[in-house]
Structure 1
Amino acid sequence: MKEEEERPPFPRDAEPAKLRLRRELGLASAVSLIAGCMIGAGIFMNPQHVLYQMGSPGGSLLIWAACGILATLGALCYAELGTLITESGGDYIYILRTFGSLPAFLVIYVSILLVRPAAIAAMSLTFAEYVAAPFYPGCTSLPEVLVKCVASACIMILTLVNCRSVRLATGITNLCTLAKVLALLVIIGGGLWVLVQGHMGETLQNAFAGTTQQLGSISIAFYQGLWSFNGWNNLNLVTEELRNADKTLVRALVISIPLVTGLYILVNLSYMVVMSPSDIRDSSALAVTWGNQILGDWAWLVPVSVALSTFGSVNGAFFSGSRVCYVAAREGHMPGILSMAHIQHLTPSPALTFTSVVALIMIIPGNFSSIVNFCSFILWMIHGTTISCLLYLKVKKKDLPRSYKVPIVIPVIMLLASIYLVLAPIIDQPQMEFLYVFLFTLSGLVLYFPIIYFGYQPQFLQEATVQLQLFLEVAPTTKNVD
């Protein structure tokens, strides 16, 4: 009873200095979060796109291996940044603390309004396709309205879960990660069984015949492959919620990314052993097509496992992506209401709700392949800028205390790779979408100078913040750093 009397009855009466997110993520949950975000829509949807761009199965496998190496090197760079700047927020907070307000605002502008919601929309659409596929056997395409309705339901359910409890959200991530790994192991096992029977598969015959030499096609193949590794930097977004953050961050990265890379290569080999090149290219749900050929009456296990896998990926994207929005609002780059947390559940519910609304809008015109190329182009611009932060700190701030150091050659390689992945498609295969990205990014300047630089705060926004604070039962928070 005494605790109830002392609890602030309304959000505006809360004491901001005492309200913060909990440190609830240990090593197991950190590994699960990274693997859970990485293993999802990509490995079940992108292999045919990578194969199409590269022109050969051998070239496709090289891309998958290179993507794993690139993700590992990038994660090591981010690990050092995470020990230098111990706040949540990932790319955004590193750019803000190193290069200042304007570039950080432009990063958060495109991330919150485009990249994060689009990624959630793409994964939700994949979840919907695999949920609906068993009800339409033999159909090459599914009813578009049904797919989008199921994807929308997925987003809304996970919004409620993440608003309710961090522990419940991480519990779902852990459960779905287990389902993902089991699904991949089933696919790998099926491929090994076919090999034991002595069937190499026509896809692997003359494995490197027809491999493309075009830089643009190779970079698009990288986009599709790297999308399957998307999430390797998600732990940096929730640094303030890690227990023993310095050690947990590095250990989780070293465990999870090589594990996922090995699984991806073996899964692709299984697809190629079991299915013909035309089957791989034409399939709308690759793992389901594989299951129909190998598992017979048990083929239903594949769409169920993949649905759980992608459901977990959407959950992980919500958990980490909403923290970017939350941190940006806390720094004054987004409306203040998005920096608040629920007074009882201690979750960033306004940021989660905002991310959900934008993701639902993204579903309306959504197309998986175009979303992947669009988002990957933006992501590697952001990654390149973040790696530049690390190089700057290594050269100009050598004396800053850090518990982990990566050799300088690694961020140099990552920066060159980022430049290649951004410029190669523009030079070799220019598309209007790339111009739209630049124009949208520049449009952030229209908001930055009046609202951020000059500090103009519309009266209606202040009033709306107060009303939403009361309605959502949320209060301002403080940074949870050591």
Structure 2
Amino acid sequence: MIVRPCSQAIVALTFSYYVIEPLFPDCEQPAIPVTLLAVIAILVLTFVNCKDVKWATRVQDIFTYAKVLALLLIIITGFVQLGKGNLEYLQNSFQDTEMDVTKVSLAFYSGLFAYNGWNYLNFVIEELKDPVKNLPKAIWISIIMVTIIYVFANVAYFSTVSPVEIKSGAAVAVMFSKRLYGILWWIMPIFVSLSTFGGVNGILFTSSRLFFVGGREGHMPQIMSYVSLNNYTPMPAVLFMGILSLFYLVSSDMYALINYVSFVNWLAIGLSVISLLYFRYARPNMKRPIKVNLIWPILYTIGSIFLVILPIYAKPVETGIGCLIIASGIPVYLIFVTWKKKPAALQRFFDKSTEILQKLLMVVPEEKKLS
């Protein structure tokens, strides 16, 4: 309820910044239009994901191609500039670097946010063909490809944009294109807008499946596990994900949002990996269709500790708010999961609410869809 919707809000804001950039080329984008455009993007994609799974996957395919094309254009142009001898900014790219370890940990938040898509694959494993074979392969291929492309893109930026400008600008690709593409500079904001639009769709598509399974397993209201009678999509889960994302748009400060979401994210994932280590020790003979060498979860746990402990010291207010938000999940867990013998009046209220939502959304339990 924190990591995925907040991530979607961040990517939607990035989409808005790039769409609006050509309209305000010489000044800062106004906050209200940026937020409204992000709202529209989330609402449109929520409708698409509610309507048809094929629509959602086609949107993802098309906009992923746009993302890769934009990055390849940046890389090729940047390396041409480097070949011409424009190495000044690259040589001084680490000038004024700060060695404060707490600031380094917060810098990792912004950097690792760009690579956070690797774990989204796990949420659509039910819709993956031969997941035991294809899930590890997809993760390895995507991480290697994204790492190479992103590193090369950042090297390309330094051929034209100074480190100071990169740190101060929200739309670095626009600065880059204005200096190299002349009157065609607007191509880059369009490409990046398309790619971030696809990013919003990808987060919505994968994360709604997380709520869907949560409803199925009894960790969230049962209505979350229902599917559309006409479209066979997990409509309640998609709507919940979309609506929840809108709440995070009350702030247009992407870096503050990244700090919020990253602290919660790395704490949750770190605890999950620690659980993996515990089960590998306590239940060594448990069936494990996908198994990795222990060195990887150990290294990951060490990295997670670094990314959780130090920011508490560096940003105590933001991480404290993150802890309070996590703690708010305790009453939800107690009410919906552990409390089995609810009062009859409360149970009737839950049942009536589910019935009303069923009729309003035209959704049914997934068993009825399969029958």
Same fold, TM exceeding 0.5?
yes
| Counterpart pick for 1:411 among 297, 305, 308 | 297
What SS does structure 2 have at the residue aligned with 1:405? coil
Q: Residue 386 in 1 paired to residue 272 in 2? A: yes
Alignment counterpart, residue 22 of structure 2, candidates 116, 119, 134:
134
Report what 2:323 is aligned to: 438
- Cα distance in 2 between the residues matched to 1:168 and 1:359: 21
Structure 1 residue matching 2:18: 3-state secondary structure: helix
Deviation at 1:207, TM superposition (A): 4.3
Counterparts of 1:329 and 1:182, CA distance in 2: 38
2:352 corresponds to which of 459, 463, 468: 463
- After superposition, the Cα gap between the structure-2 partners of 1:162 and 1:191, relative to the gap in structure 1 and judged at 3 Å, is same
Aligned to 1:309: 195
**Alpha-carbon separation, structure 2, partners of 1:171 and 1:258:** 24
SS in 2 for 1:341: strand
Counterparts in 2 of 1:274 and 1:399: CA distance versus 1, 3 Å: same
Alignment match, 1:77: none
Structure 1 residue 284 displacement after superposition = 2.9
- For the Cα contact (< 8 Å) 1:329–1:339, is it kept in 2? yes
The answer to whether the aligner puts 1:452 opposite 2:316 as a matched pair is no
Q: Tell me if structure 2 keeps the 8 A contact 1:291–1:299.
A: yes
DSSP-derived class of the 1:116 partner: helix
- Shift of the alpha carbon at 1:402? 3.2
CA distance in 1, matches of 2:307, 2:32: 34
Per the alignment, residue 62 of structure 2 pairs with 175
Aligned counterpart in structure 2 of residue 335 of structure 1, from 218, 221, 229: 221
In structure 2, the gaps of 5 or more residues are none
- What SS class does the counterpart of residue 422 from structure 1 fall into? helix
**1:347-389 deviations in Å (ceiling 9; x for gaps):** 1100111111111121122321100111011100011111112
TM-score (norm 2): 0.94
**Cα distance change, pair 157–279 in 1 and its aligned pair in 2 (3 A):** same
Extract unaligned runs of 5+ from structure 1. Answer: 1-111
- Distance in 1 (alpha carbons) for counterparts of 2:68 and 2:338: 47
Instruction: Show the counterpart of 1:359.
Output: 245
TM-score (normalised: structure 1): 0.73
Q: Distance in 1 between matches of 2:121 and 2:139?
A: 8
Give the Å deviation of 1:458: 4.2
- Counterpart of 1:255 in structure 2 is 141
Assess if the C-alpha contact under 8 Å between 1:237 and 1:320 holds in 2: yes
Give the Cα separation in 2 of the matches to 1:131 and 1:405: 43
Counterparts of residues 62-101 of structure 1 (less than 5 Å): none
User: For 1:278-299, what per-residue CA distance to the aligned partner results, in whole angstroms no more than 9, with x for missing partners?
Assistant: 3222323111111001111221
What is the rounded CA distance, in whole Å, between the counterparts of 2:168 and 2:129 in structure 1?
Answer: 45
Q: Any conservation in 1 of the 2:93–2:158 contact (CA below 8 Å)?
A: no
Contact conserved, 1:133 with 1:142, CA < 8 A, in 2?
A: yes
Q: How many residues align?
A: 365
Match of 1:144 in 2: 31
Shift of the 393–479 alpha-carbon distance from structure 1 to 2, 3 Å rule, reads farther
Q: Is the 8 A contact 1:215 1:425 kept in 2?
A: no
- Separation in structure 1 between the aligned mates of residue 141 and residue 135 of structure 2, nearest angstrom: 10
Q: Is the CA contact (8 Å cut-off) linking 2:224 and 2:236 kept in structure 1?
A: yes
Q: 1:479 to 1:179 in 2, by over 3 A?
A: farther
Structure ranking higher on relative contact order (CA contacts 8 Å, 6+ apart): 1
Aligned equivalent of 2:159: 273
- The Cα shift of 1:119 comes to 0.9
**Structure 1 stretch displaced more, 391-400 or 121-130:** 391-400
Which SS does the other structure have where 1:210 is aligned? Answer: coil
Distance 2:140 2:4 in 1: 24
Q: 1:319 is matched with which residue?
A: 205
Judging changes above 3 Å, is the alpha-carbon distance between structure 1 residues 171 and 450 closer, same or farther for their aligned structure 2 residues?
Answer: closer
In 2 relative to 1, CA 393–168 (structure 1 residues): closer, same or farther, beyond 3 Å?
Answer: same
CA deviations 1:121-174 (Å, max 9, x no partner) are 1111111111111112211x1121111111111001100111111111111111
2:215 touches 2:221 (CA, 8 Å); kept in 1?
A: yes
